[in-house]
Amino acid sequence: MHTVFGSSSLFHINLLEETAFLMDSPVSCEKPIVASGAMRPYTSSSSMVIQTSSMLSCSLPTQSRGNRGLVVAFNSRIIPGYWATKLHSKHPNAFGTTATGDQGLFINNLTIFYNTPSQPLFKRFFNIAVVSTHPSYPALHNVFNILYAARQLDGRLWLNAQGNGAAGVIIAGTGNGGLPTGEEDIAEALESDQQIVLGTRRPFGPSHPERSPAYAKSGFVHVIQARIMLQLVIASGYDMK
């Protein structure tokens, strides 16, 4: 019988933040789950060897065990997968966290954690046994549009998205998740069972709920993460109600 000590995965760097969040959402495991990637150029002198070595080093120590969720090992840093975000398009140290600090670092390839294992208080766990029964699994429903809000925003955009077959719309709102225009169009879309989540255009900071909410807010996750969460919500059998 083979014993599985954990999981290590190397991903395309442009999709690492999305993949890390998606993999972390159904993870509730005492074994280490580690992801990494490598910035360009894809050559023998690139960072891939370093990132792979760090990823494997993070998978082995005893302190890596415990329910930490997925962690991203990247450029001598250990980043919670739930908060990992690509903050620069080209910089080698592109990844950081949107709401919390790193979980640890590597010193001469030695894994050092700052804290005992823990999970974000706001993390919503999705049961993979339920998600996997949805007809769209394993790809999950992919028709979810992210719309960027600005002054003089045309609120008919979310209705158009619905007419084009979108299962949901995530709006990157102004400020802490505001809409300059289009409230009436959101109400119309919700009446026709459109799934709408309002976040913020910024990678940092919450989109907080209203006192009398009419639609969902993304909370502490940014709009890219909110899109993945909405996919998991639909696959789990939930809706705006």
Instruction: Give the tens place of pLDDT for each residue, 138-184.
Output: 888 777 888 888 888 888 888 888 888 888 889 998 888 888 888 88
**Does domain 132-236 fall into CATH 3.40.50.40?**
yes
pLDDT tier for residue 137 given thresholds of 50, 70 and 90: confident
93-98 LR contacts (CB < 8 Å, sep 24+): 94/13, 94/39, 95/16, 95/17, 98/203, 98/204, 98/220, 98/221, 98/222
Check pLDDT > 70 for residue 94: yes
pLDDT tier for residue 232 given thresholds of 50, 70 and 90: very high
Longest dimension (CA), the chain: 63
31 with 7: CB under 8 angstroms?
Answer: yes
Are 7-113 and 132-236 equal in CATH topology? yes
CATH architecture of 7-113: 3-Layer(aba) Sandwich (3.40)
β-pairing, 33-36 vs 110-113, is unpaired
Mean pLDDT of the chain: 81
Check pLDDT > 60 for residue 199: yes
- The residues spanned by each domain of the chain are 7-113, 132-236
pLDDT recorded at residue 55: 63
**Mean of pLDDT values over 16-31:** 88
Token code pair at residue 76: 């001598």
Its pTM stands at: 0.83
CA distance 24 to 68: 10
Taking Cα atoms as reference points, which of 31, 34, 32 lies closest to residue 16? Answer: 34
CA distance 13 to 51: 11
pLDDT recorded at residue 1: 45
- Across 60-189, the runs of DSSP E, i.e. the strands, are 70-74, 77-80, 84-86, 95-97, 104-107, 110-113, 144-148, 168-173
CA distance 58 to 105: 9
